[in-house]
Structure 1
Amino acid sequence: MKKTTLISVVIVAVLVIGLFSFIKLNPPLASGTIGSTSEKQGVLISIGNKGFSNIKINDVLINNHEEPLDKKIQLSNPLKGFYIAADFDGEAKEFDLTDIEDVSIEPNTAPSSQLDKVNDGTATEDDKSYGLSVINNEEINEVIIHYSYLGLSFEKVIPIRF
């Protein structure tokens, strides 16, 4: 009886370690198209989740781990697209801009899968697309996203090059 319990515990432990190792080696946050204003002080990055559980963005930094002037998530769909903003006033108010701490990125929303749906003609307004908008008073050269997934912390660095 003790031997069976011990073997069961070892098998479960190996499976859990294997799952978390797989997730660490294959981070779930995916990025796609990058757009910016002409001065690169406003940047938009399409992001999504290629995993099976929600992603929570904890923080967004720029360049040398500096705090940007402002950052928001745009909630959209593949048919509507995103707005590249130099500020979050004016025309930007027509788009669904939300504070990053108020959004969880749902599974199966990777930008590549959204593009496939558009190309196949199967995209609908019910599909969710996420865009990270970052604004600063100086040029943005990279965006650093800190996020959590299944209790694990991740960092994704996205260079902004045109």
Structure 2
Amino acid sequence: MKKKRWIFALVIVIAAVGFYSFIKFNPPIEINTLGMSQSQKSVVVGIGNTGFSKMKILNVSVNNNEKPVEAKVQVSNDFKGLVITEDFHSKEAREFGFTNIKNVTIPTKTSFSEREKDVDNKNYEIYGISALHNKAIHTVYIKYRYLGISFEEKVSIGS
């Protein structure tokens, strides 16, 4: 009887390690759009979720893991697309649904490939991370959580 318990426990441990490894080596974030202002002090990184569970953005940093002056998530659900702005509070920017990072959870099926499959769906949501900084931005780091596991995605901007 004890031998069966050990085998069962070993199978559970192997399955958990396998699942964790699969998730870690197949992160769910998809980067599908990059844009920057002429001054390079404002960027937008379009993101999607290719996974089978929602993901939560935890933090955004730029360049050498510096805190940006401001970072927000754009949520566009009417095919306006994403906007590059140097002022989140301008009249133009308010039309693009900028939201605090802590208030947004990225649902499943928001990847670019999912959008291409369902072009007739007018309610499709597009997500973008927008960051403003006092120096030119060359790299954006996106920290997020998926299935209880933390990830960090490094996105190089420009050349």
Q: Same fold (TM over 0.5)?
A: yes
What percent of counterpart residues are identical? 41
Given that residues 42 and 87 in structure 1 are in contact (C-alpha distance below 8 angstroms), is that contact kept between their aligned partners in structure 2?
Answer: no
Aligned to 2:108: 107
Q: Which runs of 5+ in 1 are unaligned?
A: none
Given that residues 53 and 106 in structure 1 are in contact (C-alpha distance below 8 angstroms), is that contact kept between their aligned partners in structure 2?
Answer: yes
Count of matched residue pairs: 158
Letter in 2 for 1:93: R
TM-score computed with the length of structure 2 as normaliser: 0.91
Given that residues 78 and 123 in structure 2 are in contact (C-alpha distance below 8 angstroms), is that contact kept between their aligned partners in structure 1?
Answer: no
Aligned to 2:30: 30
1:159 aligns with 2:150: no
Letter in 1 for 2:81: G
Deviation at 1:111, TM superposition (A): 2.6
1:158 partner SS: strand
Q: Which string of whole-angstrom CA distances, capped at 9 and with x for unpartnered residues, describes residues 50-92 of structure 1?
A: 1111111111000011111100001113722111111112210
2:53 partner SS: coil
Deviation at 1:112, TM superposition (A): 3.4
Separation in 2 of the partners of 1:66 and 1:54? 26
Deviation at 1:121, TM superposition (A): 3.4
TM-score computed with the length of structure 1 as normaliser: 0.90
2:85 partner SS: coil
Separation in 1 of the partners of 2:97 and 2:103? 12
Q: State the 4+ residue runs in structure 1 displaced beyond 3 angstroms.
A: none
Separation in 2 of the partners of 1:108 and 1:13? 30
User: Over aligned residues, Cα RMSD in angstroms?
Assistant: 1.6
Letter in 1 for 2:101: I
